[in-house]
Structure 1
Amino acid sequence: MSTEELDQRPGLKARIAAFRERIEERPTARKTWRIAIGTLGTLVLIAGIIAIPYPGPGWAIVFVGLAILGSEFEWAKRLLRYAKGKYDAWTDWLKRQHWAVQLLVLAATGLIVLATLWLLNAFSLVAGWVGLEEWTWLQSPFFG
């Protein structure tokens, strides 16, 4: 649901405001709420940071984690604005680059993904499925 659709639902903003007021009135509830939001936001943020170099929504997950944290912590709101600005600047810069630079960035991203798959022993697992167990170079140094 978009923000506009949420705003048009009768009483939703009022219910959210009332919920927040009830939390603010009780110090224990306030502290518990902040701990819960802090924990959830941090977990989402860590998952996003791990996912950044891989194809998919890594940066989106980071921004969601910061937005969750930003609902309770001013430093996270500032960091979210800063991170969005840097992300936009990076993508704008990359779009202006020669295709060779863009290809180099794509290749570096691909190498990170391949290295991670190798370290997690994914190649050895798949090799076992197709009968290539003798290709020991596919084994991860951690799971060999």
Structure 2
Amino acid sequence: MILRVSVAIAGLAVVALGILLIPLPGPGWFIVIGGLAIWAVEFTWAKKLLNFTRRNVRAWTSWIGRQPLPLRSVIGVVGLIFVAAVVWASVKVSLDIDLITETRNVFGW
């Protein structure tokens, strides 16, 4: 029982940290999956969810690898735009700084 509770608490701490880091650039999702792996040591539902996640990440990676370079480039650009939007929104909400306005002011646009 002590092991089960310890695994539950450790997994919860890691997942919570990962969720807090998701909006920021960095390994937020990786940390969430790490917490899920900790839970999978003791909980069957977490093991099933972890296997499902691994299968789908591998399928997505394989599918991307089979696509022509122009499509992969478009997917990459869309990903970068998404990350930029998340960074902009995170800075705007947490620090009340509009990066677009600040950039315009720096360059005099």
2: distance between equivalents of 1:31 and 1:59? 24
Equivalences for residues 21-32 of structure 1 within 5 A? 24=1, 29=2, 32=5
Partner residue in 2 for 1:132: 106
C-alpha offsets along residues 111-139 of structure 1, whole Å, 9 cap, x if unaligned?
Answer: 012112222246259649xx62976xxxx
Q: Are 2:9 and 1:36 equivalent residues in the alignment?
A: yes
Q: 1:68 aligns with which of 38, 48, 52?
A: 38
Structure 1: which 4+ aligned runs deviate by more than 6 Å?
none
Deviation at 1:102, TM superposition (A): 0.4
Change (3 A) 1:124 1:75: same
Asked if 1:111 is matched to 2:77, the reply is: no
Report which structure shows greater RCO (CA 8 Å, sep ≥6): 2
CA RMSD after TM alignment: 3.3
In 1, Cα distance between the equivalents of 2:29 and 2:87?
A: 20
More helix by share: 2
Q: Matched residues, percent identical? A: 29
Contact 1:42 1:69 in 2 (8 A): no
Structure 1 residues without counterparts, runs of 5 or longer: 1-23, 136-144
- TM-score between both structures, scaled by the size of structure 2: 0.69
What's the TM-score once normalised by structure 1's chain length?
A: 0.55
Say yes or no: does 1:88 pair with 2:58. yes
